[in-house]
Amino acid sequence: MRPRCGRRCGGSSKRARTTSRSSNRPSYTVPELAAITDEARRQGKLTAAHCTCAQGVENCLEAGVDMIIHCVFNEADGSYRYRPDLVERLVEAKAWVNPTLYVMRAGIERQQAAREREGRLTAELVTQLDQARRALDARVEGVRRMTAEGVRMCAGSDSPWGWYAPGEFVHEIEMLAGAGLSNSDAIVAGTAGAADSIGVGAVAGRLAPGRQADLLVVRGDPTRDLGALWDVLDVYQAGRRVLRGLG
């Protein structure tokens, strides 16, 4: 669990990193997290924490963290169990969940492809990849259930490194649609929802008077087919065309 706090309007952030190695146990106590969230609010900032265990999610809810990244309900032994009680608290707290589904799928697919090219796809690795696929399936089903319960979802990449190359964010929107969101809701999760979750919804994330005109112009209707998001014609930043004729 890695807490993060950032300015409401972007620009800079401060991070509190973990020293433990297990992702199935929380690295911060509730008082430690509360100290972070209290100071963040005093500075007018929002907080986010990477949580890959149920106890970490619970600790963050106790401390009032604004966004839960990953939001995986793993137990201390690594087993996964969906937690309706924590989901209910997420809804009550109006916390944002940023599930980061594609980064896991990308790791599975690209690691397998790389090992196959190198001729090093061992039986042990095949077993590990199969386990990872089952874990991903459980996460997708968890997002489906959380969405049905009314949890606020935003789309995020975790960070564009490793197996997740920059420019592939559309995959995350597609993954959310595969987890039960409509195409429109998945797009909103990556635009208005993403902006609202970091406190910049008043200036970005929507096509509306007074908002910053950051536009992606595509060929086709992505509300019908999300594949249209890959067929980019133009990119505008703050109302100025910065890329043209990509499609």
pLDDT digits over 157-180, tens only?
Answer: 887 666 777 788 999 999 999 999
pLDDT in tens, 76-101: 999 999 999 999 999 999 999 999 99
Q: The sheet that has 152-153: what strands, in order across it?
A: 13-15, 2-7, 45-51, 67-70, 96-98, 152-153
Q: Over range 16-35, report the average pLDDT.
A: 83
Query: How would residue 2 be classed by pLDDT, with cut points 50, 70 and 90?
Result: low
* % of the chain at pLDDT higher than 90: 82
Q: Where is pLDDT greater, at 8 or 175?
A: 175
Query: Is pLDDT of 54 > 90?
Result: yes
- Cα distance between the two ends of the chain: 39
